[in-house]
Copies of this chain bind each other. A is one copy, B any other.
Amino acid sequence: MHNLSPSGAQVLLETLVRGGVTTCFGNPGTSEVHFVHGLDAVPAMRCVLALAETVATGAADGFARMSGTTAATLLHCGPGLANGLANLHNARKARTSILNIVGDQAQFHDYMDPPLASNTEAFAQTVSAWTRRSHSSLAVGADAAAAVAQARFGGGAVATLILPSDVCWGPGGPAGIPPAAPARGVVDEEAIKAVHDLLRTGKRSAIILGDDALTDRCQRLAHAVGAQSGASVLAHSFIRRIERGGDRPGIVRIPYAVTPARAMFADIDTVVLVGAARPVFAFAGPDGLSEPTAPGTQFMALGSPGDDLETALAMLCDRPDASPCGLDALPRATRRPEVATGPITPEAFGQSLAALLPHDAIVVDEGVSFGRSVFAATQHAPRHDWLQLTGGAIGCGMPLAIGAAIAAPGRRVVTLQADGSGLYSVQALWTQARERLDVTTIVFANKRYEILFNETRRMGLTPGASAGRLFSLDDPAMDWVKLANGFGVEAASAASMDELNDLLAAALNRPGPFLIELLL
């Protein structure tokens, strides 16, 4: 009987497509076979296979960051979802819009505690702003519409819909109608005036732009405000996505390391947070330092994440008693540099990348220790977007690149990948090959968790035998060329800047994925 009407899975899929959610990254299991079967009837939904869930969730994050829309994932009940939680943690910190569809046991079966039974809600709630279990195939359209709405709340959120398999195979009710994404919050005029007055008190001040204020336009407005008021304009150490390069004005990020970050704020009395959190170190040590700003610093918020920060900045810039906005007087970029030769250093790498980066590229940065200086060194590359690890859960780089490439076909994606972090999600290379994505990955192969040696010293400790054993990856050394080839991706290694320059020039103009192992 119910074979004649669309299944719950079909209705769910139709609801997502209606809501503009048309790309799904996943790894299905037995509880999802009806969902997969439903895909045959809803061809508007594209489903991309990942070999491990952390690849799927990271790819969803990259897709949402670059498309500005909602990405879906398809995950296999509790443990499958668990495998994807780390990159969902990163997405939660980035406030990207992700809707997880998590299959589960049929409702009449669950109580018997089969092997894969678990507390799926508990897994989901660790990273989700909203979690619901759909209980009926007749209601799954409404549940899916609610899930889409929740994934767009506040500019972007992680929402999870748990889907028992009987809800998939049962007769579907009406498809849901996801509401339009809510308008961005309006920043109060009083708050704008207060910030304006604060910036005119003559105190030394800084403006920190949050993730929603890192568009080209927002940065120009902030720089204009800075030019009027003397405030420096900064971004956080970890950012979701920033538009930069070419003729854009550029922005300085707060350093990750404690000493230079404190130096940056040593003379700053007031900090304006434009949809941004107060700066904080990733970890604290026995020195008790939690933040780079000086004690007694005055903080003032201009809006919250998800608010219409561009309008707020424009109003801050255009206030009647303000001097001319000066957008045109902003510095223009110098010409892009030549490739670097000589020893392999982060600065040399950045120079060569700036020299060779195609126009409108997307750079995914999980470069960690070696990669940290590459950001500054690429300011004079042509216009590009720059994506980063946001939540500190390593293993995001190559997955983010998948989603970015799928969201922005025709644009070259370049992944700056620390080797230790990359090994968390090396399976991502296979999906890059399968989907023929134009992704160039450069692995910084220093064969150690360099950051942990550095952090050990920062804590005042001398790395001993245990650190040597647990922070080193050279026994045996990984062969990234073989790993990439094993997953179907062409690859080569470079042991000098000359080799790197040649490989990079070729790889950046070659269709499909390519991996360069930079031997450090």
A interface residues (Cβ-Cβ under 8 A, vs B): 26, 28-31, 33-34, 36-37, 39-40, 47, 49, 51-52, 54, 78-80, 82-83, 85-86, 89-90, 93, 105-106, 108-109, 112-116, 118-119, 122-123, 125-127, 165-166, 169, 238, 277-278, 280-286, 288, 290-291, 390-393, 395, 420, 423-424, 426-427, 430, 433-434, 451-452, 455-456, 459, 461, 463-467, 469-471, 473, 475-483, 485-488
Contact = CB atoms under 8 A, between A and B. Distances in A.
Contacts of A451: 30
Contact of A286 (B169, B282, B423): B169
A432 to B, nearest CB: 10
A488 B127 CA distance: 35
A430 B464 contact: no
Contacts of A28: 452, 470-471
Q: Which of A33, A285, A433, A451 has the most CB of B within 10 A?
A: A33
A85 B123 contact: yes
Contact of A456 (B36, B119, B291, B434): B36
A30 B455 contact: yes
Given A36-B471, A476-B488, 10 more contacts: A34-B461, A51-B473, A78-B89, A78-B126, A83-B83, A89-B118, A114-B282, A122-B126, A424-B427, A430-B476
A305 to B, nearest CB: 13
Contact of A112 (B165, B288, B291): B291
B466 A40 contact: yes
Contacts of A118: 89, 126-127
Contacts of A284: 105-106, 108-109, 165-166
Given A33-B455, A47-B469, A424 B89 contact: no
A393 B115 CA distance: 9
A86 B93 contact: no
Nearest to A288: B108
Contacts of A393: 79-80, 82, 116
Contacts of A288: 108
11 contacts: A36-B452, A39-B466, A40-B464, A109-B280, A112-B278, A112-B280, A114-B281, A115-B238, A115-B282, A122-B126, A169-B285
B37 A466 contact: yes
Contacts of A281: 109, 114
Which 9 interchain pairs have the tightest Cβ spacing? A476-B488, A79-B393, A483-B486, A482-B486, A109-B284, A39-B466, A82-B85, A116-B392, A115-B392
Contacts of A475: 434
A134 to B, nearest CB: 17
B33 A169 contact: no
Contacts of A487: 476, 478, 483
A115 B86 contact: no
A439 to B, nearest CB: 15
Contacts of A433: 476
A518 to B, nearest CB: 16
Contacts of A26: 470
B31 A466 contact: no
Nearest to A279: B112
Contact of A427 (B31, B423, B463, B465): B423
A85 B89 contact: no
B112 A83 contact: no
Nearest to A52: B424
A33 B89 contact: no
Q: Which of A238, A395, A487 has the most CB of B within 10 A?
A: A487
B119 A280 contact: no
B31 A283 contact: yes
Contact of A82 (B82, B116, B473): B82
A420 B30 CA distance: 14
Contacts of A86: 79-80, 82-83
A394 B331 CA distance: 54
Contacts of A463: 37
Nearest to A93: B115
Q: Which of A26, A37, A284, A391 has the most CB of B within 10 A?
A: A284
A488 B447 CA distance: 13
Contact of A479 (B29, B166, B461, B485): B485
B49 A423 contact: no
Contacts of A482: 482-483, 485-486
Contacts of A290: 108-109, 112
B33 A459 contact: yes
Contacts of A423: 51-52, 427, 430
A470 B45 CA distance: 13
